[in-house]
Amino acid sequence: MTTLETPVRLTQYAAGGGCACKLPPGELEQVVRDLVGQPAGDVVVGLDTGDDGAVVRVADGLAVISTADFFTPVVDDAYDFGRIVAANALSDVYAMGGRPVLAINLVGWPRGVLPLELLREVLRGGVDVARQAGCPVAGGHSIDDPEPKYGMAVTGVADPDRLLRNDAARPGLPLSLTKPIGVGMLNNRHKATGEVFPQAIASMTTLNAQASAAALAAGVVAATDVTGFGLLGHLFSMLRGSGVGAVLDAAAVPVLEGARDALRDGFVSGGTRRNLEWVRPHLDTALSEDELLVLADAQTSGGLLVVGEVPGAPVIGHTVAGPPAYPHRLSTAADPRIRVEAVAWRHSPTWHPPRPRAPAMPSQLGEPMPHFAHTLSVSAAPSAIFAIIDDFSKTPQWLSRCTGIDKLDPGANDVGTRLNYHYDDGRRSGTMDGQIVAREPDRHFAMKFTDRMMDVTVDFVAASDGVGTTLTHTIDIATKGFGVLLSPLIKRQLPKQTMDAMTALKAMAEQP
Catalytic residues: 19
DSSP for 150-210?
EEEEEEEEE-TTS--BTT---TT-EEEESS-B-HHHHHHHHHHH----HHHHHHHTS-SHH
* Length of the chain (residues): 512
Q: Which has the closest alpha carbon to 362: 354, 351, 371?
A: 371
Find the Cα–Cα–Cα–Cα dihedral 281, 282, 285, 288, rounded to 10°: -50
The residue ranges of DSSP E strands in 240-348, in sequence order, are 244-249, 283-285, 304-307, 315-321, 338-341
Contact by Cβ (8 Å): 277, 370: no
Q: Which has the closest alpha carbon to 307: 319, 298, 296, 295?
A: 319
SS3 (DSSP) at 475: strand
Q: Which has the closest alpha carbon to 168: 93, 227, 95, 226?
A: 95
CA distance 422 to 96: 37
Q: Which residue type is seen at 5?
A: E
CA angle 132, 137, 138 (to 5 degrees): 155
Q: What is the DSSP letter of 428?
A: -
Contact by Cβ (8 Å): 91, 98: no
Q: Dihedral of CA 75/81/87/93: which sign?
A: positive
CA distance 473 to 44: 38
**Per-residue CA distances from 99 to 126, 202, 468 (Å):** 17, 22, 46
SS3 (DSSP) at 41: coil
Contact by Cβ (8 Å): 449, 468: no
SS3 (DSSP) at 245: strand
CA distance 252 to 268: 22
Largest CA distance in the chain: 90
Bridge-based pairing state of the strands 244-249 and 338-341: parallel
SS3 (DSSP) at 437: strand
**Per-residue CA distances from 125 to 3, 5, 27, 381, 414 (Å):** 19, 20, 32, 58, 43
Contact by Cβ (8 Å): 212, 280: no
